[in-house]
Amino acid sequence: MISPDSESEVEHDEANDGHSLQSRVENSSNPNEPNPWGFVVYRTVYDNDDRWAPFKTRLEDIIDGESESIRSEGADPLGFTLKYVEDKATLENLTSQQIRL
């Protein structure tokens, strides 16, 4: 799921860059630009900030390596993105089922 489903996600995304991900997708009129696609990563555990940044770096390194592999096979991963949703007040200790709601 790439577009935000709740007001809090939309507000979080707009706070990051001034535009919601959903509006960027809906307003993409250039057929030569890839529409964003990828994964949303919800942070639900906040007890160790020292491990969060290295986790994101490692995940991005793995994705970058896979992107190179995909390119070498003739496919094009353009538009791929990881969207991090980090809102301790809203997400802390939620289960994956609760996040889906």
d(CA 21, CA 93) in angstroms, rounded, equals: 25
Q: What is the pLDDT of residue 66?
A: 79
The pLDDT value given to residue 85: 93
Tokens of 92: 């802390």
Name the band, by pLDDT with cuts 50, 70 and 90, for residue 3: very low
What's the token pair of residue 16? 């990051």
List the chain domain ranges.
7-100
Tell me the C-alpha distance between 44 and 7, whole Å: 18
- Band of residue 101 on the pLDDT scale cut at 50, 70, 90: confident
pLDDT, one tens digit per residue, over 7-59 is 444 444 444 444 555 565 555 556 666 677 788 999 999 998 999 999 999 99
Q: What is the pLDDT of residues 52-91, one digit of tens each?
A: 999 999 998 888 887 777 767 766 667 778 899 999 999 9
